[in-house]
Amino acid sequence: MSLKAKLEAIIYAAETPITLNHIIELVGDSVVAEGATEEEVKSHVRVALEELIDEYSAAHRGIEIRQIAGGYRMSTKPEQHDVVRDFAKSLKPPIRLSMPALETLAVIAYKQPVTVPEISEIRGVDSSGVIATLLERKLITTAGRKAVIGRPILYKSTKEFLLRFGLKDVGELPSMEEFEKLVAESFQSELQPVSEEGPETVSDNTAEVASAEADSPQVEATTEIISTEEEVVSVETPAAGEKDPAA
């Protein structure tokens, strides 16, 4: 991989402007491995950065690399403001899930098709309350009935679930540990505290956020154009036999 390609990937992935020194720390060894001396690393990186900035300044590019607050960051160009604003306004409100709902979703993802009694047995608590939430969010759907006494409904994940986690199909599900990390990253800004007062709600402030973004001269080209305020989840593990609070 070329040095410019590495710089491009790093700047794109950075959530905040990344400094030249930080970039050098990340790519310094590879630059030396390609023949440069320790003293030449900084100049090599600086030259590659300048070339990359020039390439992104071309008229056919919708994104540019800017120096902001002592670092480098990708931003949409001012002339693309209108189309980015329209896109931001078209986004659906973010999904908000409680920790019990996420735990139930994980069980369904790995054990599907699975019934509510089976889910409750695995989690150690009654999971019927959060099933409705997951159905409403279109993360799970019914998959017929199990051929046992009572014929309980089977549940499986949906296409929306695959889209949410960037999977081609359920065969691409990572290990349980990797999935838990994926869940934490995907829903980090969308988790809400478990409440006994009522069901989970879908945030209705997306339009306000989009409007605020629309008023700014540029929209940062991060992986998420709209981000919700990060909330901390505090969950006490229920005793065996207790029901989950309403999801």
Among 209, 203, 181, 197, which residue's Cα sits nearest to residue 96? Answer: 203
What contacts 183, CB < 8 A, 6 or more positions away? 102, 105, 106
How many Cβ atoms sit within 10 Å of the Cβ of residue 66? 17
In the chain, the largest separation of any two C-alpha atoms, in whole Å, equals: 75
User: pLDDT tens, 142-188?
Assistant: 999 999 999 999 999 998 888 877 778 888 887 777 776 766 665 55
Note the pLDDT of residue 244. Answer: 53
pLDDT at 232 over 50: no
* Poorest-pLDDT segment among 92-101, 159-168, 213-222: 213-222
pLDDT at 239 over 90: no
pLDDT at 215 over 50: no
Peptide bond into 113 cis (omega under 30): yes
Domains delineated in the chain: 3-76 (1.10.10.10), 99-215 (1.10.10.10)
pTM of the model: 0.47
